[in-house]
Structures are given as structure tokens and as C-alpha cells.
Chain A
Amino acid sequence: MYSFTYAKPASVNDAATEFSASEDASYLAGGMTLIPTLKQRLAQPSQLVDLGAIADMKGISVAGGTLTIGAMTSHADVAASADVRKAVPALAALAGEIGDPQVRNRGTLGGSIANNDPSADYPAALVALGATVHTDKRAIKAEDFFIGLFETALEPGELIVKVSFPVAKRAGYAKFPNPASRYAVVGVFVAETAEGVRVAVTGAGPGVFRAGDLEEALSKSFSTDAVKGIKASADGLNGDMHATPEYRAHLIGVMAKRAVQAALA
């Protein structure tokens, strides 16, 4: 690891100030992506701004049909939260299947979406549920937030404070996990929301995307039968040592069916 200076601000404002005080600063959440990156010397920030002491960025609340989760809330806390399990059980289930118990104890919602790994689980939930990402500067709709491979709408130094999720009528998530990392080879999140049925796919392409044909079929009938005949196209999907584009396309159909099953359970 290259050396860096370290700051641990206690408020969102102080974090932004610390960030801009240094030429090449980086925010540190749970470190589950950032620290391995630093260990490999793939990044060289001059300063780390640790978000671990900012109380305003932690916690879970439900009010008026909206579930709000602080950016620094760990995956384990989301998975175990009685509020999340009641409001959007699929989200608690998703958080409980990220990585392994140790990763879930440190990894955070904010860190996961800021990183926007193409195989990360949370982006599918945010897009399917029509969530809003609240930063220290503005509110960004999930679909405008995730731009592409490891790329988001965040400006340099912009800090994710929390994410709000409209409570869906029902929702389900299913992923085919990579057996080593548990990242999604393909993950599909289906949600019946006030704006209709929304389906988001992660792991399959360079970034999370909505699946229009699945949405259309499920709008007509929210059932496993409705998605049966739908074949996703392999065009533009990822191919690597874990799965070919064709196999990923096939998995979209299988995961969609399992996600609908989970939503109906």
C-alpha cells in the first residue's frame, strides 16, 4: 500500500471539507473494495476520509411509504433490520446474500453503489424499486445514477448520504452467485411498484439495466408462467471465464422466474 494521510470527520459537511482540502482524496466506507484496491497498489489517494464516525449517514427508517437507509449502513444491518424485512423483504434478503458474513459486517450500501461494480447486487434493487440516491448536493434517480462500468453520476467529492426506496407492493430478487466471491454472475430484481412492474438485471451487462420485455409480460400477469417463453438477447452481455454472453442471457430468464417466485412467496 502507498502511504496516505487519514481523517475521520464527524459530519457530512466536515467530510466534504476534508475531501477538498487534499489534492487526491478518497472516501473510505467499510473498505471492502477500497482496501483490497490499495493493497494491490491500483490506487494512490493522498488522503483517506473515513466516513465511519458520521452518525447522520447510518440508520434505517420507514415513513409514509418510503424506506430510507443511510449510506454507511452495513449489509448485515440491512439484512437483520425488522423495518426492512417488513417494508421490502426482498431488499433484506438481497443484503443477506452479499459476499459472506464478514463482508456483510463491514460493507455498506453507499460504498456498493458508489463503486457500481457490474456484478454488485444493490444496483438491481435501486433501479427496480425506483429508488433515489441522496447526496450532500442533490437527489439523483437510481436510473440516472448508474452510468456504466464502475461509473456513476457522482461528481468528484460528492458524498452519498442516504438512499430512499418507495415501498413496493411486492418484490423479489434472485441471483446466480459466482461460487468464489458470491457476486452476481446474473441477478434479477422484480418489483410491482406504484409505477408498474419494473425488472432490473445486474451482472449480465456492463452495468445494471431494465428488461423491457420481462416488464411487459409481468405487467399483463405477475406470474412465473408469464416469463416462461421470454428469451433475453446475448448482444452486448458480458463474457468471461465464468460465463459466456449466451449463458448469461439464459440465466436472465431463469433468475427472472426465481425472482417472481420469491416475490409471490
Chain B
Amino acid sequence: MVKVSLTVNGSAHSAEVEPRTLLVDFLRAHLSLTGTHVGCDTSQCGACTVHLDGKPVKSCTMLAVQADGHQVTTIEGVATGKDLHPMQAAFRECHGLQCGFCTPGMVMSALGIVTRHKDGLDEATVRHELEGNLCRCTGYHGIVNAVLLGAKNMGVPIKDSKAA
């Protein structure tokens, strides 16, 4: 067993885990944060996306011990109390989900896109940078619109797009 101490959604946590424990299993089984999903075993679907020190990573492809000493944000840490984050609200507004399985990962990736493109965002960039997230339901169009609207409501200028 190894000791892991990390900050998740602003609160400090410490636990003894097996070295082979994946970060996603630590979040879901040890901390009961089941908003982070597992959709594949090939590191391709992005349903497990969380932020590590503010950057999107696939928590199914990381050991919990690798996050020792770091800050993790999950989908549960995005809203403020009962108020949805503008990106979450945009997914609801734009029908950016059907079954909702991919949505936590999509929102965490979308927030990464906003961080990387504060100065301006267009539809092509959103589509390109969602390549690490798969959705089996929507056909992506609503998701792309949601990311653009969410970004706009977070103050990002949207370039040449009909959507937002």
C-alpha cells in the first residue's frame, strides 16, 4: 500500500491505496465521486476526464499515486452550490446530451478548451479539440454548440460561428 494525499474539488484527502489503483477508481470508489465515468478500456473515450492542476487528463490512464500532491477537479467541483456552471447550463440549453454518459467528460474537456483559447474560439477548433471525447448519442452537433455558447457566456469572443 502507498499513501496518497491530494486535493479534490478544494478539499484535502489522504488514503492508503494499492499502487495499481487508478485515479478514476479512487475518485469513484474511495471518494464516492461517481460523476466521473468509465466508458472504455483503450484510453480513447474521455468519459473519465478530470482536471489535474487545471489541465484535462484521462483519469482511467493515471494511477492515483501519480496524483499525489496535486489538485484534482471533477465534474462535481464545477458548479457553485445549486447554480450550474455556465458550461453546464449551455449543455442543457443546447441539447448537448442525450443519455448523458459522456457529458461529465465533455464538460471537463470543454473547460480545458476555454482555458486554452481565452482570446477567441471558433467551431473548427472546438471540433478538433474534442477529439479525445466520444459520444455515442448526439452526433456532436449539440455538444459543439454548447461548448461555443458556454465559452461565450464565460466571456470568450466567438469567431465566425452561427451557433453561439
How many residues of chain B have a CB within 8 Å of chain A? 30
Q: Is the CB of B66 within 8 A of A101?
A: no
Contact residues of A between 32 and 71, Cβ < 8 Å to B: 32, 35-36, 38-40, 48, 50, 52
Contact residues of B between 1 and 58, Cβ < 8 Å to A: 2, 18-20, 22, 41-44, 46, 49, 52, 55-58
Q: Once A and B bind, how many residue pairs between them come within 8 Å at the CB atom? A: 79
Q: Is the CB of B19 within 8 A of A3?
A: yes
A31, A36, A48, A100: the one within 8 Å of B42 (CB): A36
Q: Is the CB of A100 within 8 A of B19?
A: no
Residues in chain B near residue A103, CB distance under 8 A: 43, 58, 132
B18, B46, B65: the one within 8 Å of A100 (CB): B46
Is the C-beta of A2 less than 8 angstroms from some C-beta in chain B?
yes
Residues in chain A near residue B42, CB distance under 8 A: 36
Residues in chain A near residue B109, CB distance under 8 A: 101-102
Q: Is the CB of A106 within 8 A of B41?
A: no
Q: Is the CB of A102 within 8 A of B65?
A: no
Interface class of chain B by DSSP: mixed
Q: How far is the CA of A105 from the CA of B58 in the complex (A)?
A: 9
Q: Is the CB of B43 within 8 A of A32?
A: yes
Q: Is the CB of B57 within 8 A of A39?
A: no
Is the C-beta of B93 less than 8 angstroms from some C-beta in chain A?
no
Q: Is the CB of B43 within 8 A of A48?
A: no
Residues in chain B near residue A150, CB distance under 8 A: none
Contact residues of B between 125 and 149, Cβ < 8 Å to A: 129, 131-133
Q: Is the CB of B57 within 8 A of A105?
A: yes
Residues in chain A near residue B44, CB distance under 8 A: 180-181
B52, B66, B112, B132: the one within 8 Å of A99 (CB): B132
Q: How far is the CA of A8 from the CA of B65 in the complex (A)?
A: 9
Is the C-beta of B89 less than 8 angstroms from some C-beta in chain A?
no
A3, A31, A102, A182: the one within 8 Å of B66 (CB): A31
Q: Is the CB of A48 within 8 A of B19?
A: yes
Q: Which interface residue of B56, B116, B129 has the most chain A CB atoms within 10 A?
A: B56
B2, B52, B62, B113: the one within 8 Å of A35 (CB): B62
Q: Is the CB of A100 within 8 A of B62?
A: no
Contact residues of A between 181 and 212, Cβ < 8 Å to B: 181-182
Q: How far is the CA of A122 from the CA of B133 in the complex (A)?
A: 23
Residues in chain B near residue A50, CB distance under 8 A: 65-66
7 contacts between A and B (CB under 8 A): A8-B65, A36-B61, A50-B65, A100-B131, A102-B46, A102-B49, A181-B44
Known A48-B19, A48-B63, A99-B131; further 11 A-B contacts with Cβ < 8 A: A1-B22, A4-B19, A5-B19, A6-B2, A6-B19, A28-B63, A31-B66, A50-B66, A76-B55, A102-B49, A106-B61
Residues of A at the B interface (CB closer than 8 Å) are 1-6, 8, 28, 31-32, 35-36, 38-40, 48, 50, 52, 76, 99-103, 105-106, 180-182
